[in-house]
Structure 1
């Protein structure tokens, strides 16, 4: 997750609220959103904590599959920050074409750094071994996910601004109506996501262990599936689509599911596999893959909405009256999905 710091730095100078004074030759420096700066800093600190201590304390590391640990909040937090940055920065660029150019340029930068940092260029920094094997390069990653979410949500923000300017003083829940395009896209994303994960048929699949440090290097395994709508590690539609589109050799070789009870003796700690571990324990899985990255757009849209509340509603009481119910509603929905296994 350390690669996200490069992305947050690129967004740093855009997180402001005040409009620039274009009538003056020397415009005053826009004010910063201190709360967002603090939240970003805390998120980076959390990222460092779970990266460095997650191995020793699995309770704060990524959940092997089901569940939600402390580390699992980092990515949604960054996407939320990106969403707020979109709302706060694009309002300062009235020219639509210029805004689109800047969004596309930033997206390309994120994709470039994502491939460089997580594509496999640095195989072993401590041993100074570098270089990319294009047959095994990892196409997806943290910055690539942020790039996709940023591109989609920023373009929605740019092309829906005409409707937003008709009512620049929303009150109460009328702000949802003002930015209805965002929520329409969110509903479409959610519908597509659930349709894919529950409606896609996953056939049996094969893979070869490519980890040279593994005692099973070079061995081929077959995973029996032939099911539809399964959410378990070996037979979910998310992994199937990534294997078909990206190619299994271009996926993350050390997924968190290797620490699950089915795979590891001392789960959730990393360790040797059980003697009866199923074959899929050896397989790669892309945690920032295609389908899961599409669903990540929702976190960015929520961030955009909270950013618009900050801009449109004057005074902290009015903002809190909107943020608190919205936050509580999302929290309750998340808890319901968690305990009904709808979010797994």
Structure 2
């Protein structure tokens, strides 16, 4: 999480729950109510980000998992995406004009992209030496804010173009809300289908790279990685890394991936330390944890958050809301755990696998439900 230490919480939208209403005296409109539990959840996620960023090196059990698995730090990104998703329907409810809503969504997306490139693209690349500027040959194009921007843009546009004029129609049951927003779930199913088809279907050829870190003894040395496989989820030969190398360029990827702390690479694993003398070539390679294909999968976390926002809008009874969130959260957790422990699809933040989406989104729904109980 060190690459995001300087960035703030992604306030993609304000999220008042209701429209401003006129005061009984007719003087001023009352301010819209805010969802206190969502504000608390956002604050907790920011605090969690700071904690794992500062303490993850000392306590690797809370830092990012080197590859398969899910540690405390691995919940930060999907929690942010879930929060962004919940805020979308609450905010867009106040903007009935479609063109105005699209304009606001695009403007906020551009702001997120700008700050993402500024903070994570390498402008302040050596704070200790007060060195600034961007090397366009090495700039990192992807990052956390860029991923949030993509997920927000795509899901917000789906919300805008599929929202019916009868938005406030009464919903009689938990199942009818799925029917009302069936296009969201069809889109989510399409995202999963595309992601899995590429992840398991694309052929990954052999590849090579040169070490670009000037502080490393192997600087400039060229390594070759042998793959020639399909459907592999190991670090060197997965489709996620292959697409990023082809689309972004290997020099524009994250140079310090978590896999360098794995047992295959590091003598002090899971702590940061010295590379093993017999470390395979891929241990020295960059890898983009917020890359192209994994960001497509991450859209699903935001769709699940949007659904929870719809529940908040359409159901007035607190117990009905909680029942829906808790049941959905438990179902996602159980599905993700089954996928992981049956070795069908392992939990992996770097690849943003389906099991990882299920576990982290389920946990987000459960944590938000707990704060909702405390707030209401």
Equivalent residue number for residue 154 of structure 2? 152
Aligned-partner Cα distance in 1 for 2:311–2:214: 51
CA distance in 2 between counterparts of 1:25 and 1:279 reads: 71
Superimposed CA distance per residue, residues 264-285 of structure 1 (whole angstroms, 9 cap, x where no aligned partner): 0110111111110000000000
SS of 1:117's equivalent in the other structure is helix
2:272 corresponds to: 270
The secondary structure found in structure 2 opposite 1:207 is: strand
- C-alpha separation between the residues in 2 aligned to 1:196 and 1:71? 27
How much does 1:15 deviate?
A: 1.6
Map 1:62-77 onto structure 2 (within 5 A).
Answer: 62-77=64-79
2:209 pairs, out of 203, 207, 210, with: 207
CA distance in 2, matches of 1:303, 1:279: 39
Distance 1:21 1:167 in 2: 20
What CA distance in whole angstroms lies between the structure 2 residues aligned with 1:38 and 1:7? 12
Please report how far the alpha carbon of residue 320 of structure 1 lies from its aligned counterpart in structure 2 after TM superposition.
1.4
Q: Is the 8 A contact 1:171 1:313 kept in 2?
A: no
Q: 2-side partners of 1:145 and 1:9: how far apart?
A: 14
TM-score by length of 2: 0.88
Structure 2 distance, partners of 1:232, 1:244, is 18
Tell me how many residue pairs correspond in the alignment: 342
Residue 20 of structure 1 pairs with residue 44 of structure 2: no
Distance 1:118 1:248 in 2: 16
Aligned to 2:302: 300
For residues 247 and 125 of structure 1, the distance between their equivalents in structure 2, rounded to whole angstroms, comes to 25
C-alpha distance in 1 between matches for 2:60 and 2:28: 52
1:37 Cα deviation after fit: 0.6
Tell me, in whole angstroms, the C-alpha distance in 1 between the residues paired with 2:115 and 2:258. 23
Give the equivalent residue in structure 2 for 1:114: 116
> Partner of 1:29 in structure 2?
31
SS in structure 1 opposite 2:213?
coil
Task: State the 1:87 CA deviation.
Answer: 1.3
**Contact 1:186–1:301 (CA under 8 A) maintained in structure 2:** yes
Pick closer, same or farther for the CA change 1:145–1:4 going to 2, 3 Å: farther
Q: Summarize deviations over 1:282-323 as a string: whole Å, max 9, x none.
A: 000000000000000010001000011011001111111211
Corresponding position of 2:56:
54
What is residue 126 of structure 1 aligned with on the other side? 128
Does the aligned pair in 1 maintain the 2:253–2:287 contact within 8 Å?
Answer: yes
Q: Give the C-alpha shift of residue 51 in structure 1.
A: 0.4
* 1:3 and 1:117 in contact (8 A); partners too: no
User: Where in structure 2 are there 5+ consecutive unaligned residues?
Assistant: 349-376
- What is the RMSD of the two structures over their aligned residues, measured on CA atoms? 1.6
Contact 1:167 1:178 in 2 (8 A): no
Aligned to 2:100: 98
CA contact (8 A) 2:168 2:314 kept: no
CA distance in 2, matches of 1:168, 1:244: 48
Structure 1 equivalent of residue 363 of structure 2:
none
Report how far residue 5 of structure 1 moved: 4.7
Q: Is the 8 A contact 2:5 2:50 kept in 1?
A: no
Q: Report the counterpart of residue 371 of structure 2 in structure 1.
A: none
Q: Give structure 1 stretches of 5+ with no counterpart.
A: none
Q: Does structure 2 retain, via aligned residues, the 8 Å contact 1:3–1:142?
A: no
Three-state SS of the structure 2 residue aligned to 1:273 is: coil
Report the counterpart of residue 290 of structure 2 in structure 1.
288
Worse-matched range after superposition: 199-208 or 317-326: 317-326
Secondary structure of 2:104's counterpart equals helix
User: 2:9 touches 2:46 (CA, 8 Å); kept in 1?
Assistant: no
C-alpha deviation, 1:9, in angstroms: 3.8
Q: Deviations along 1:94-115, whole A, 9 cap, x unmatched?
A: 0000000000000000000000
Going from structure 1 to structure 2, the CA distance change for 1:270 and 1:73 (only over 3 Å counts) comes to: same
Deviations 1:51-98 (A, max 9, x none): 000000000000000000000000000000000110110011000000
